[in-house]
Structure 1
Amino acid sequence: MTKHWWQSAVVYQIYPRSFQDSNGDGIGDLAGIISRLDYLQQLGVGAIWLSPVYQSPNADNGYDIADYQAINPEYGTMADMDRLIAEARQRGIRIVMDLVVNHTSDEHRWFVSAKQDRDAATRDYYVWADPVDGHEPNDLTSGFIGGSAWEYEPKTHQYFLHLFSKKQIDLNWQSPKLRQAVYDMMNFWIDKGIGGFRMDVIDMIAKEPLKKIQVNGPHLHEYLHEMNRRTWGDRDFLTVGEAWSAGPKDALQYSDAAHQELSMIFQFGHMWADRKVGGEKWETRPLDVGQLKQALYDDQTTLATSGWNSLFWNNHDLPRAVSRFGTTGPQRELSAKMLAITLHGLKGTPYLYQGEEIGMTDCPVTSIDQVDDVEARTIYRQLRERGDSAAQAMAKLNTFSRDNARTPMQWSPAANAGFTTGQPWLAVNPNYRTINVDAAVTTPGSLFYTYQRLIELRRTCPVLQTGRFYALANVPATVFAYTRTLGTTRWLICSNFTAAPTMVTLPAKTAKVIIANYPDAPTQLGTVQLRPYEAMILDITEE
């Protein structure tokens, strides 16, 4: 297998609006990110995944792009972007741009022109359809705002498609001209020296809406192969696609190097372990650790010899990991270390979401007026229409609202957590006075240093990069226990996902502690009792 830089790196996701404000307007910006690069270098990350900073009217906080080759003024200028790329490179950090090529903003010049005239040069960049009996072409619905996914344009007497909001207009990938325009834009950024792309809802680009095919269209992999060949194909470049529809076998299709498509995808099978499968987004259930474990293990075994995994607990669209899978009580940091060790022991590229390294938590709110997330606001309205009280609807929103991940980064106990000197665009979590970077980096043994050590291990230890995965049999459902093996080196990763002491039988007689979240991790194995949220990586290589 060819060795790539992203097989030994940890990627740190920055949500620019919430990371660091440099000018007091309450919105994070590129200059703010540059000011924190030394911190990220200290943490040890190899790349920054930057959520969108392109020109946008912010109908969906930048995931509605009006100009792919311009920077939104609230974040800075293209000169700032060039400086970020250069300053990061000086610290050994690559920039991975978030790219949305499933849809554009309705304010993109392509669409502004296309909607004026059926003969416009960019008309076929978008999906248009004639009325059927004076109505929408079919009953496809919009995912963000509800209602029809079709919007009538009276000037040209056709409907256009928006599977998300009315300001996010779906692109027509069946158009060779559109595909070439996208590839030209991607090469613009590649030539600037970025290290990769994260591609939003990439499984939707080959949609065939008149056939009601919204994901995994028949030409999807053909388009991705073409994209690879026309852009990054001759470079050591990270590409990761978001694919909510994908399972492990799909991940193999996307990421097998022989197919010349993507480096890896984000798949979300493990995210259903505390949700009702097939239910609504807010319908939660107690965490099924066995299901969580099996989903992650299935990824490991299916992609054991070909393809590549992405590893993550949370991102800008998901609740905070420690709130969801650990505990926010007195054992918050212990459980967060357990989550870190469990995930970072697996094979693949780990993704770390801003604030995860200090154990930032969800931020419940009491009123819809405090909610920014366009999706959550729509669901709140729908819940109220169904008969939920305001309190019931807010309780449901607090379990999934994307605002949980988007509250400002907590740098210090100073006003607004050191994020801004102005009024933050979204309220800071009140617990910033105790959960913040300053406290973490000045406390030996804090969660920050667990992540720093795990990132170092990933960078320097081949067994974590490419070692074979093997799941231990006959362990309790609430315990992760697996080994990574490369040559004669054998490491054991073991973690207790609960607050209850749990007995487990581990292989080998003795072990050397590589990392653990208790200071006295066991070195004599056999049958041992795992303490609440205990986790460790042990070297059990035979002497």
Structure 2
Amino acid sequence: MQKKSWYKESVVYQIYPRSFMDSNGDGIGDIRGIIKKLDYLKNLGVDIIWISPIYESPNEDNGYDISDYQNILSEFGTMEDFDKLLETAHDKGMKIIMDLVVNHTSDEHQWFVESRKSKDNSYRDYYIWKDGKNGKEPNNWGSWFGGSAWQYDENTEMYYLHIFSSKQPDLNWDNNKVRNEVYKMMKWWLDKGIDGFRMDVINLISKDHKFPDGKSNGGLYGDLGPYCLNGEHVHEYLKEMNENVLSKYDIMTVGETADVTIEEAKKYSACDRNELDMVFQFEHMALDSGDYGKWSNNRFNLIDLKKVLTKWQKELEEKCWNTLFWSNHDQPRAVSRFGNDKDHREISAKMLGTCLYMMRGTPFIFQGEELGMTNAYFDTLDEYRDLETFNAYEDLTKKHGIDKELMMDYLKHISRDNARTPMQWDDSTNAGFTTGTPWISVNKNYPDINANNQVDDHGSVYNYYRKLFKLRHEHEIIVYGDYKLLEPDNNELYVYTRSLNKNKLLVICNFTQKSLTYEVPEEFRKVNKRILISNYHDDLGEEIRPYEAKVYMVD
């Protein structure tokens, strides 16, 4: 069995503060709003709250462009408000982890303001500056937000690298002064009392400084991924971070690691590597991709989903710890993507929770998932707020000739703003999120889908999730048990077992809207078993109803 640890036995709830709860009527969620809702989270069974960036920022990318790591953006409140949040959460037995965004800063960060002043400025080498080639960019790399990954700066007639927006210049981690500045800042937050970090795009921090051209696949720009992802020195730098900072505190760390392989994930998070506690991998998030990457309206294939999730369950089994998530601030709503948000929203939302959070790993719940909140399904482009969404719409309709109506359908399916609409607290104006005008429109279905309707309803999605988390806290087998997939080629049912010592669980989940038949394995027919949890009120044995989920336990 894996070595026990508090973060393995915890449930993490991600708050996107801009959309969670507004306390002052300016239309933007804030820290005091979070404080007001801590009892709601405690009642749900949350142990750890992950807060997306609340630092000083010009908000080019909704806070992931930081101009001051040790200040709070005024629209979120003050540092005194944060200290109160931390104290109150701790008093209620909950921990707080912060977003650590150190692959890049804002171009308004003082380091970059200095860096761009002159070639001999003491901060020049804090960022990645290159001369152009033949009057053009240093190479053909394309930004992940569209266009070139290089921005020309007239003052010094050189280019700086930005994997994301041109207002998000990449830090030069090969400069030990940069690393020491980051470590100093991390210690400042940890000494304040926070309980860990979620590390944004942390596997991008080491670049190939030969800067070769990337494969273009016929487009204007080349793929920078092979030269920036999981780079030559990334593990060296994370070991150094662990030695200098992380190992000195009782905290949890989770790295966002796009395109990470199993072998790379083991390097980042194996218990004997002294880097991170766990990583987010996104292989299951790419199962509905199409010819234009994430921009599609495809539906995932269940056999493929089972293959991916099972691979990560089995390959990391005794070496590393898994993260379990259906959605976050960069992904659409889980019930819209993997369930059925039309005819079977409640029952399929419960099924999805059962399917994933009965696996081995730490659950990460995104705000509103516990209510079965759905995609926004905005009708017009001007209802969106996300920079990535606007750039993709511009690029794919103008340069690739995609029909505008089809592109709008892609946005309804996959845009990040689907997860960023305000939290739906009640059926009053603006879903009780704000007394002002919300920064982004509230989902139109808030009168039906809201927390006030669900908290006291024993049959609600909220209370089902509450029961799921209670079971995780009560039964070691759910946290530490071995995982085994059954029916790998069944494209309708997801069936697996968990086992620990003499205890066994059988998890059966129907991913369709039709009734199916499933005969339980012989090892579960020979013994006395009981229903541990189910999203239906009774058990019809071999009949598995639409989107039914049930878990049998053998003690």
Q: CA deviation at 1:364?
A: 1.1
Q: CA deviation at 1:160?
A: 0.7
Note the residue ranges of structure 2 that are not aligned, 5 or more in a row: 213-223
1:227 pairs with 224, 241, 247, which one?
A: 241
Q: Paired residue for 1:205?
A: 205
Q: Paired residue for 1:519?
A: 537
Task: Tell me the secondary structure at the aligned position of residue 513 of structure 1.
Answer: strand
Aligned letter for 2:176? P
Q: Paired residue for 1:489?
A: 503
Task: Tell me the secondary structure at the aligned position of residue 520 of structure 2.
Answer: strand
Whole-angstrom CA distance in 2 between matches of 1:410 and 1:135: 48
Task: Tell me the secondary structure at the aligned position of residue 537 of structure 2.
Answer: coil
Aligned letter for 2:129? W
2:413 pairs with 372, 379, 399, which one?
A: 399
Task: Tell me the secondary structure at the aligned position of residue 446 of structure 2.
Answer: helix
Whole-angstrom CA distance in 2 between matches of 1:478 and 1:234: 47
Whole-angstrom CA distance in 2 between matches of 1:106 and 1:61: 14
Q: CA deviation at 1:378?
A: 0.8
Q: CA deviation at 1:365?
A: 1.3
Q: CA deviation at 1:437?
A: 0.1
Q: Paired residue for 1:372?
A: 385
Deviates more, 1:466-475 or 1:496-505: 466-475
Q: Paired residue for 1:24?
A: 25
Q: Paired residue for 1:164?
A: 164
Q: Paired residue for 1:121?
A: 122
Deviates more, 1:364-373 or 1:16-25: 364-373
CA contact (8 A) 2:127 2:160 kept: yes
1:419 pairs with 430, 433, 441, which one?
A: 433
Q: Paired residue for 2:315?
A: 302
Task: Tell me the secondary structure at the aligned position of residue 471 of structure 1.
Answer: strand
1:91 aligns with 2:92: yes
Deviates more, 1:28-37 or 1:445-454: 445-454
Q: CA deviation at 1:474?
A: 6.3
Whole-angstrom CA distance in 2 between matches of 1:454 and 1:461: 11
Give the 5 Å matches for 1:345-364. 345-364=358-377
Whole-angstrom CA distance in 1 between matches of 2:289 and 2:375: 17
Q: Paired residue for 1:292?
A: 305
**1:177-223 deviation digits (Å, cap 9, x = unpaired):** 00000010111111111111011111111122514512111111111
Aligned letter for 1:493? V
CA contact (8 A) 2:299 2:337 kept: no
1:460 aligns with 2:474: yes
2:545 pairs with 524, 531, 534, which one?
A: 531
Q: Paired residue for 1:59?
A: 60
Give the 5 Å matches for 1:436-515. 436-473=450-487, 476-507=490-521, 508-509=524-525, 510-515=528-533
Aligned letter for 1:512? R
**1:299-356 deviation digits (Å, cap 9, x = unpaired):** 0000111111000000000010000111112311000000000011100000000000
CA contact (8 A) 1:96 1:195 kept: yes
Task: Tell me the secondary structure at the aligned position of residue 250 of structure 1.
Answer: helix
**1:377-413 deviation digits (Å, cap 9, x = unpaired):** 0111123213344323212221111110000000000
Task: Tell me the secondary structure at the aligned position of residue 317 of structure 1.
Answer: coil
Q: TM-score, normalised by structure 1?
A: 0.96
Q: Paired residue for 2:335?
A: 322
Q: Paired residue for 2:217?
A: none
Q: CA deviation at 1:473?
A: 4.3
CA contact (8 A) 1:467 1:484 kept: yes
Q: CA deviation at 1:238?
A: 1.1
Deviates more, 1:122-131 or 1:404-413: 122-131
Whole-angstrom CA distance in 2 between matches of 1:191 and 1:461: 33
Whole-angstrom CA distance in 1 between matches of 2:484 and 2:247: 32
Q: CA deviation at 1:272?
A: 2.4
Task: Tell me the secondary structure at the aligned position of residue 376 of structure 1.
Answer: helix
Q: CA deviation at 1:471?
A: 1.6
Task: Tell me the secondary structure at the aligned position of residue 453 of structure 1.
Answer: helix
Q: Paired residue for 2:193?
A: 193
1:311 pairs with 316, 324, 336, which one?
A: 324
Q: CA deviation at 1:529?
A: 2.0
Whole-angstrom CA distance in 2 between matches of 1:306 and 1:39: 35
Whole-angstrom CA distance in 1 between matches of 2:52 and 2:322: 20
Whole-angstrom CA distance in 2 between matches of 1:477 and 1:53: 42
**1:428-463 deviation digits (Å, cap 9, x = unpaired):** 001000000000112112111111111111122111
**1:278-301 deviation digits (Å, cap 9, x = unpaired):** 642212323200101110010000
Give the 5 Å matches for 1:38-53. 38-53=39-54
Q: CA deviation at 1:48?
A: 0.6
**1:466-491 deviation digits (Å, cap 9, x = unpaired):** 11112224662321111111111111
Aligned letter for 2:165? S
2:284 pairs with 270, 293, 313, which one?
A: 270
1:236 aligns with 2:250: yes
Aligned letter for 1:4? S
Task: Tell me the secondary structure at the aligned position of residue 539 of structure 1.
Answer: strand
Q: Paired residue for 1:74?
A: 75
Whole-angstrom CA distance in 2 between matches of 1:157 and 1:343: 51
Whole-angstrom CA distance in 1 between matches of 2:479 and 2:293: 37
Aligned letter for 1:96? I
Whole-angstrom CA distance in 1 between matches of 2:283 and 2:264: 12
Whole-angstrom CA distance in 2 between matches of 1:164 and 1:495: 38
Q: Paired residue for 1:147?
A: 147
Instruction: Pick closer, same or farther for the CA change 1:279–1:154 going to 2, 3 Å.
Output: closer
Q: Paired residue for 2:7?
A: 6
CA contact (8 A) 1:476 1:504 kept: no
Q: CA deviation at 1:134?
A: 2.6
User: What value does the CA root-mean-square deviation take over the aligned residues?
Assistant: 1.4
Q: CA deviation at 1:235?
A: 2.9
Q: What stretches of structure 1 move > 4 A for 4+ residues in a row?
A: none
Q: Paired residue for 1:176?
A: 176
Matched residue count:
535
CA contact (8 A) 1:4 1:236 kept: no
**1:44-73 deviation digits (Å, cap 9, x = unpaired):** 100111000000000000000000000000
Aligned letter for 1:469? Y
Aligned letter for 1:361? T
Aligned letter for 2:195? G
Aligned letter for 1:301? K
**Identical positions, percent:** 47
Whole-angstrom CA distance in 2 between matches of 1:19 and 1:13: 10
